[in-house]
Chains A and B, each alone.
Chain A
Amino acid sequence: MIVEIGHFALILATCVAFLQAVLPLAGTMLDRPRWQALAKPTAWLQFSLIVLAYAVLTHGAVTDDFSIKYIAGHSNSLLPMEFKVSAVWGGHEGSLLLWVLMLSGWTVAVAWFSKTLPLAMVARVIGVLGWVSVGFLSFTVITSSPFERLIPAPADGRDLNPLLQDPGLIIHPPMLYMGYVGFSVAFAFAIAALLSGRMDAAWARWSRPWTIVAWMFMTAGIALGSWWAYYELGWGGWWFWDPVENASLLPWLFGTALIHALMVTDKRGGFKAWSILLAIGAFSLSLLGTFLVRSGVLTSVHSFASDPKRGVFILIFLALVVGISLTLFAWRAPKATLGGKMGLVSRESMLLANSVLLVVATAAVLLGTVYPLIVDALNLGKLSVGAPYFNAVFVPLMVPVVFLMVPGGVAHWREARWAELAHAMRWPALAAVLVGLGVLFFSTRGTWLTAMGMALATWVVAGLLHQIVNRMQKPGRIPPSFWGMHLAHLGIAVVVVGITLVKGYEVERDVRMGVGDTVQIENYSFELMGVSEVNGPNFKALRGEVRVNKDEKLLEVLYPEKRRYFSSNMPMTEAAIDSGFFRDLYVSLGEPIEGERPQWSVRVYYKPFVAWLWYGSILMVLGGLLAVSDRRYRKSPAAIAA
């Protein structure tokens, strides 16, 4: 009975979303303020209904209601409670419900925080979000309802995929979805600007905080996904250029470009059409990602159970939303006026270069991801595009983006002079060159790639320190957005250091170990003390005991496991990691090996600075937080009118 209530709430929410989509927008076109005023109440009603539906599904998961087909397919009575709750988004149908929950959540957030916005603008933004909701809700209700019943109910569920039975599942998808969905707000603002014909700086100023928050979640989501793959998959990789990973990187790249372009539109009134295009693009890439992951057109370790029928629905939805948006863009955007004066060398041009580079990088990743599909569609055969391609193309494109962080911050608006710029950047340049040369000459395994990576990171850090020192010597209050920008850029530099050093200096040893055998890496020694059998709540495992010594002294004992879950009989590696600020020690237990004495295949990794990948991501998110906390986004209506 409760399940049917949930199902009904979802259907009702779809109808309300339709009202939310139609009435406020019609109200702006027919000049009916009463209809426009319906935007906020319909948004709240839709949100409440979806919360109800979501609560019902969670209740079903928590009470082991296996008469719900989705719960039977993704949960199990032996599953620990925290995973029962997160199993709600472990599969296709449930994750869609999470998607629509977040979409309506962002919509009510816009409704809540838009007290200073004109009614017509609010009506348009919420109306557009309503159309997106209609699409996703009807997709869920029609093709992927999580409330389908299984009669008779099985005695127990099929269990959650063991790979997902992990804290990573609890936090990575929600963060990522907050990002994906969050870009819909900037999208809605852009469409609202096109619809109203007013593409001036105001839409940019309003959408900046929303875009930054969405970007923060996206950054966190991607970083968490990378971290999760690192410790969960058992062989120390953290990025595979898998189609689903690329699907999350694409909107992130556009989102980064959008944040920077909006700066120019907000402050200088320039790039109006370009910012609108980027905003449409970022969310379009979110939708494209949804399609790629759930339609089965691409092979991926991450894909949900694919169904071409669902693929058709999403594709039509994608085609309509993006097609209409881009048509509206082609029609209205030419009327946008040009901004203020912009020199060939100026902060504006640096930010424009940032946009161009990020868009090209996005195009490259997108091209590589869909190229196998294009070739197949043209009946020209089947080929694979993997990490070697992406690394070869993406890295050279991103190097200039990171490089530009320094001149971009130093250059004046409107016009900057080469000589002035060069003079301002001489210390960072010197520091970078010294570090680069140092790596080349003093490190035994230092390659020119490692040197370049370290030089680039030094350039950025020295550059931002220099700018901070300069700024502090000037009078006047320093706004949080200044700190935010430099903190986020510092985060990127930290990530660059992490990638450069882990790629340049990591060590892997693939060995057979018997009890008492040791492996030596750098000044660490790993000794296998023994392997025993252990029982978990829903699995059986072989657990190794590995004693780690540093310089002959005991550092830690690690317990890598090889688990076999009852439900799926899938073997799972639980690597044991000693995580440190400067290095990770990573031990992975493999299969037992036949021989005269008992041996196991073990992989031991020494990964220097790998944690900096995630420290850097945290800094980036914090930088975004500081930027959003800037007071100008919380001005009262009176102050804005002044």
Chain B
Amino acid sequence: MSTNFLGIKRLMQGVLFLLAAAAAATAQSKEAELSAKEPLIEQRLIHISEELRCLVCQNESLASSRAELANDLREEVRLLIRQDKSDAAIKAYLVERYGDFVLYRPEVKPLTWLLWFGPFALLLCGVVGMVLYVRQRQAVQKLAQPLSEKERDQVRVLLKNGESP
């Protein structure tokens, strides 16, 4: 008798729990909120922070790092975005404090001319070199052409004259 009673109690508890859970689930289930409260600011943040370096990581962008300082710096960038600062101004703000190291896209200045223009200058050299090489090859080919009939006769004469008597 007592077991039955216990069993029914358990059953009732179970049903109540399920009902409560179902109620809770339907009451609270909804579209997940974006981590970011302001999507437009987040968009700009991602765009800017993808080009910034996480200073305490071993080569990760500020966008992807979950380090403490990275969180703080992203918050700082959000602040600056809310103040309507331009991308360039925000980058300058960080460079002022952390140096060029924080930029993943090196600024184009005399120090980085070789970096930015070097490859294309090299390409130009390569193209010019290639054309010169092909031209040179064609010139050599011309020289290596078999002798014409006239040239053959000339050689015969020269050889005959060079023969010792």
Contact = CB atoms under 8 A, between A and B. Distances in A.
A221 interface: no
A414 to B, nearest CB: 10
Contact of B28 (A341, A511, A519, A597): A597
A341 B141 contact: yes
B87 interface: no
Question: Range of interface residues on chain B?
Answer: 35 or more
B134 A301 contact: no
B106 A389 contact: yes
Given A342-B134, A360-B123, A386 B53 contact: yes
Interface in B110-165: 111-112, 114-116, 118-119, 122-123, 126-127, 129-131, 133-135, 137-138, 140-141
Interface in B52-91: 53, 57-61, 64, 66
Contacts of B28: 514-516, 597
Interface residues on A, range: 35 or more
A588 to B, nearest CB: 11
B144 to A, nearest CB: 9
A303 to B, nearest CB: 8
Contacts of B42: 510
B35 interface: yes
A627 B157 CA distance: 54
Contacts of A392: 105
B31 interface: yes
B102 A384 contact: yes
A402 interface: no
B60 A301 contact: yes
Interface string B17-38: 0000000010011111111100
Nearest to B141: A341
Contact of B29 (A237, A393, A518): A518
Contacts of A597: 28
A389 B118 contact: no
Given A342-B137, A344-B134, A383-B112, A300 B59 contact: yes
B30 A517 contact: yes
A342 B136 CA distance: 10
Contact of A510 (B34, B129, B138): B34
Contact of A356 (B36, B60, B66, B127): B127
Given A381-B99, A510-B36, A357 B123 contact: yes
B119 A349 contact: no
A386 B65 CA distance: 15
Contact of B33 (A359, A360, A382, A512): A512
A520 interface: yes
Nearest to B103: A384
Interface in A329-350: 338-339, 341-344, 349
B33 A384 contact: no
Interface stretch (A185-193, A362-370, A424-432): A362-370
Contacts of A515: 25, 28-29
Contacts of B122: 360, 363-364
Contact of B32 (A353, A381, A397, A528): A528
A568 interface: no
Residue in B59, B60, B64 whose Cβ sees the most chain A Cβ within 10 Å: B59
Nearest to B115: A371
A367 B105 CA distance: 14
A384 B101 contact: yes
Given A360-B119, A382-B101, A301 B58 contact: yes
B31 to A, nearest CB: 6
A607 to B, nearest CB: 15
A240 B54 CA distance: 14
Given A301-B59, A301-B60, A363 B119 contact: yes
Interface string A443-487: 000000000000000000000000000000000000000000000
A352 interface: yes
A509 interface: yes
A392 B108 CA distance: 13
A303 B58 CA distance: 9
A356 B115 contact: no
B60 A397 contact: no
A52 B113 CA distance: 52
A352 B136 CA distance: 14
A511 B35 CA distance: 4
B61 A386 contact: yes
Contacts of B106: 371, 383-385, 389
B29 A517 contact: yes
B33 A235 contact: no
Contacts of A601: 35
A536 interface: no
A513 interface: yes
A208 B127 CA distance: 26
Contacts of B118: 363-364, 367
B123 A381 contact: no
A28 B133 CA distance: 34
Given A342-B141, A343-B138, 6 more contacts: A342-B137, A344-B131, A356-B126, A367-B114, A510-B34, A511-B33
22 contacts: A301-B58, A341-B138, A342-B138, A343-B138, A349-B130, A352-B133, A357-B126, A367-B115, A368-B115, A371-B106, A371-B115, A383-B103, A383-B111, A385-B104, A386-B105, A387-B104, A389-B116, A511-B35, A512-B32, A512-B35, A514-B28, A518-B29
Interface of B: 25, 28-36, 42, 50-51, 53, 57-61, 64, 66, 99-106, 111-112, 114-116, 118-119, 122-123, 126-127, 129-131, 133-135, 137-138, 140-141
Q: Which 8 A-B pairs have the closest CB atoms?
A: A386-B104, A516-B29, A388-B105, A364-B119, A517-B32, A356-B126, A511-B32, A383-B100
